Structure 1
Amino acid sequence: MNPTACPRIVLVTLNARYIHASLGLRYLLANLDRHGGAGLRAQAVLREYTISRPAQAVVVDLLATLGPGPSAEAATGTQIVGFGVYIWNVTQTTEVIRLLKVARPDLKIVLGGPEVSHETDQQAITRLADHVITGWGDVSFAKLCRALLHGPPPLMKIIPGEQPPLAELNLPYGEYSDSDLAHRLLYVEASRGCPFKCEFCLSALDKTAWAFELDRVLAALDVLHQRGARTFKFVDRTFNLKIEHSVRILQFFLERLPPPNTPASAQLFLHFEVIPDHLPERLRAMLAQFPPGVLQLEVGVQSFNVVVQQTISRRQDNDATEANLRWLLAHTHAHLHVDLIFGLPGETLQSFADGFDRLLAIGPHEIQLGILKRLRGAPIARHSAAHGMVYAPEPPYTVQHTGVVDAATLQRFGRLARYWELLANSGRFAQTLPLLLYPSPVDGSAVVSPFWRFMAFSSWLWQRQGSTHRLTPEALVDALFDYLSASLPPASVRQALLADYLASGARANPKALHGLLPRRTASPDKAGRTLATRQHRHRELTPHPNPSSPRHGGSGKG
């Protein structure tokens, strides 16, 4: 497109963070010509923002992109603004559209994404729009643009997305810019859909999983790699469902591993979401070949409670799950990021605690503690009456209480989850955390479970701080010292905290460590620094359920 011309189509989304790059909108761009007619792609541009950017600032930038609007001089004609809408950006996107419509009522506003694919008649954002595409948008958006720009005008506001054979879709990876490759996560996929029916997830609505032709995918990934891409996040719901494909993808990346001592910025980093109870020998053999720092495996355990699993139609062999996690930890260098969800129908705090303790004993690198959210359209809604499920009316629709968990307990758990992120998943307290979770009883008393020990600390810390945010590493060091030294020898607690603080590379001066820190901190311990850095990188990959998913009808974790 001529850079001085006004675009006819602007595709927009508000990402959770700058580092995320919307794969879904790039699919729409890549398929404009194929499914809408030659020349459409040349008239389209992509604009990505973050949810932290003020709505008015987003609108000002969009208006500058769109140009002056219809007039005798401009003669731009119809202009379309398409928004990708997700559970984490719907509130901000609604305000952007409201302001944009005031400034330019002539614009055709088109919505797509999982948040607006269901319950469309109940949402303020859909009332503001001219058209809403539900489900898959790759083909339907292109056809809608053709109709809006060239006629005949569409008759329907709500347009069910057309699901084509995957062979009829252009892959979107050429839409990643050189800047994207250098500074952002690259989302890729080898398949869509999911054969499993876990009711908290929109993928439960899929009838099966569909695989792209693998040679075609690998050829596109090779081009990305040759352009300099080194971080690949696969958004496939079930990467290890089709082992033949999984093995070929892993072999592809094994053949492109950089030599030892390559700078960290040039190292490969791969993220896959895997089924926890399906790890056949061929896949194990491939996973074991990757060196440290390359693989992250996101494993959705969600609950070890068999009754809860049955209630939400989740098929999971818990013994196989545990055995596979232990094998991965013992025989691979993969970083294991394992998810648990609190608030599922019938899950009590005690049964969740039992599951947490079981998972903690296995020893994954991160345990992500989430609270159930009611994704629009997800089948979990069918349990609301029977299990007393009450959800927040505003995004992200977090469960407020259930028939077996009251509101106060859910609030306590929310604080615990935040503190767990700061203390455990941050990697900053590797030596101190065991003192909190596994203290040796000195009075012959029974050992309290790690979950309940952390819950007690969480309640104490909340009383002390009154906040779960803006807690510096130094404030956490002092809090841990005060709490632990009440029941453990202060010298032992201080020694662990000192080792952790130095290893993290922090350079302030916590009160608990006065007189113990060197005047100028030497280069921090490499192993500790590497752990903290690696943990941060892993969290960058998994801050939200499926950021900017290309599946306009799917979201949430499987």
Structure 2
Amino acid sequence: MTILLSTLNARYTHASLGLRYLYANMAELQPQTQLMEFVIGAKTADVVERLLEKQPRIVGFGVYIWNVEETTRVVAMLKRVAPQVRIVLGGPEVSYEPGEQPIVQLADFLVTGWGDVTFPALCRQILHGPQPLMKIHAGVQPRLEEIRLPYASYSDEDIAHRTLYVEASRGCPFKCEFCLSSLDKTAWPFDLDQFLAALEGLHARGARLFKFVDRTFNLNIRASLRIMQFFLDKLEAHPDDPVFAHFEVVPDHLPEALKEAISRFPPGTLQFEIGIQSFNPAVQATISRKQDNEKSADNIRWLRMHSHAHLHVDLIAGLPGEDLESFARGFDRLVALAPHEIQFGILKRLRGTPIIRHTEAYGMVFDPAPPYTVLATDRIDFNTMQRLQRFARYWDLVANSGRFAHTLPVLLADAPFANFLALSDWLYRNTDATHRIALDRLAALVGEWLCERGLNAAQARALVESDYAGQAHRLHRKPKPAPAEAAPRRQARHLAA
């Protein structure tokens, strides 16, 4: 193959939508182009060996915040053992601040921003001349109707074993400064008939799990309703072979027509990712986030009471101007709304995002290594931020895992944030670890903590065992490697976006 399109995904079950867009738009170069995806954690030499087996002339890498360090090592080795291979980079991590990045210095070319048109054009120059003079090529943003949709590029293996990422629109009209989408001027919709025809083709091939990467799925309600009706029709026609759809929704925009459609989805078929990020109006104003907090809370409450949608709601700690007390109030408010999952994240300084403008005014200190997590602000010191990092990890283990459904309300009681932070601190003192804690040990620790908080031993044991019993039959089996066909879990935010 002359041209390889490659990336290192966070998991096997993730399939790169960006690479498939490039492949779909290679035109006459497509027959000599091939996708080669890897997973982070693979040995650098093994990745390089497999790439070079194809004897490529060009290798294009999709570079993201979660894979930049490993991709840098791959590029460095490729240039040492096969300097004749031209390496082209693209993706959000290298599209901004390229001058300071080692991976950009190692590569031959860089395409910033949209690559659908610019990457194929650059390949034609490399292969047929005239040779490109510039290293950095700003991606041309074509009209969406000029872009070939990528969904036919999902293989049968992708459909059988991986999450299928789709998008009905690109861009975002909102300006939240921690997000790269704040750089967009607006959101642009794809032709809806063409998009739904592509979904029909995927469904006919056996696709049942669709994850929409649109930043604002419910911005255009008319389009949202047509897409939801597509899935409702499939559920009605194939009740024994249901589809599952994941959407990212704006929390304060849920008109009655959309509520009616949502209420028709049966359990286990619909998931919403809802970005609250902060309930503090002053913080929201600082980061240019427009959000009606009362309406957002009312909508989450309605979704819990009147729909079967699984709700995954995001909060971010470390935003400029937010102290621990403010974050705790927001966290407690969200717990009271009872979403199925609360994704507790720590702010990350994505390259190119306007959040950097607050660095000096709010004393923000970021880790210089990916994923560029905030280490301290003028409101939250380094030690407290470390405690919050551990809180987030233990929250995933105890709360988001669903393994302690009966125990969790007792753990949280009347002060959810304060109580769970105390548990988090205690767990760390007693384990010195946030990973690789076996479930049986974690259950024992939770029971011990309940005793320390005043519950008698018999009550604590009975409470934990009411959750633990459902897991116990799996504890003493020899662990098996995750099969390729394992159902994919939701990505933690998205880094993948």
Per the shorter chain, which TM-score range?
A: over 0.9
1:326-365 alignment to 2 at 5 Å? Answer: 326-365=301-340
Deviation at 1:484? Answer: 0.4
* Residue 493 (structure 1) aligns with: 460
Deviation at 1:60? Answer: 1.1
Deviations 1:180-207 (A, max 9, x none): 0000000000000000000000000000
1:124-135 alignment to 2 at 5 Å? Answer: 124-135=102-113
Deviations 1:256-289 (A, max 9, x none): 0166872xxx431110000000000111010000
* Residue 73 (structure 2) aligns with: 95
Among 246, 263, 267, the alignment partner of 2:242 is 267
Q: Does 1:21 align with 2:15?
A: yes
- Taking the aligned partners of 1:423 and 1:397, their CA distance within structure 2 comes to 26
Among 378, 383, 394, the alignment partner of 1:419 is 394
Q: 1:499 to 1:261 in 2, by over 3 A?
A: farther
Q: 1:238 to 1:178 in 2, by over 3 A?
A: same
Deviation at 1:506? Answer: 3.9
* Residue 540 (structure 1) aligns with: 489
1:72-471 alignment to 2 at 5 Å? Answer: 79-257=57-235, 262=240, 266-438=241-413, 449-471=415-437
- Taking the aligned partners of 2:475 and 2:159, their CA distance within structure 1 comes to 35
- Taking the aligned partners of 2:181 and 2:238, their CA distance within structure 1 comes to 39
Deviation at 1:398? Answer: 0.4
1:545 partner amino acid: H
Deviation at 1:216? Answer: 0.4
Q: 1:476 to 1:159 in 2, by over 3 A?
A: same
Unaligned runs of 5+ in 1: 1-6, 68-78, 439-446, 510-519, 521-535, 548-554
Deviation at 1:230? Answer: 0.3
1:6-17 alignment to 2 at 5 Å? Answer: 7-17=1-11
Q: Which has the higher contact order (CA 8 A, sep 6+)?
A: 1
Deviation at 1:55? Answer: 1.1
8 Å CA contact 2:364, 2:376 repeated in 1: yes
Q: 1:505 to 1:225 in 2, by over 3 A?
A: farther
Deviation at 1:146? Answer: 0.7
Q: 1:507 to 1:172 in 2, by over 3 A?
A: closer
8 Å CA contact 1:258, 1:268 repeated in 2: no
Deviation at 1:505? Answer: 5.0
Among 44, 58, 61, the alignment partner of 1:55 is 44
8 Å CA contact 1:131, 1:157 repeated in 2: yes
Deviation at 1:151? Answer: 0.8
- Taking the aligned partners of 1:233 and 1:507, their CA distance within structure 2 comes to 29
Deviation at 1:468? Answer: 0.2
2:63 partner amino acid: V
After TM superposition, the score normalised by the length of structure 2 is: 0.96
8 Å CA contact 1:241, 1:275 repeated in 2: yes
Deviation at 1:540? Answer: 1.4
Q: Alignment identity in percent?
A: 58
Q: Structure 1 residues 467-476 or 483-492, which shifts more?
A: 483-492
8 Å CA contact 2:234, 2:242 repeated in 1: no
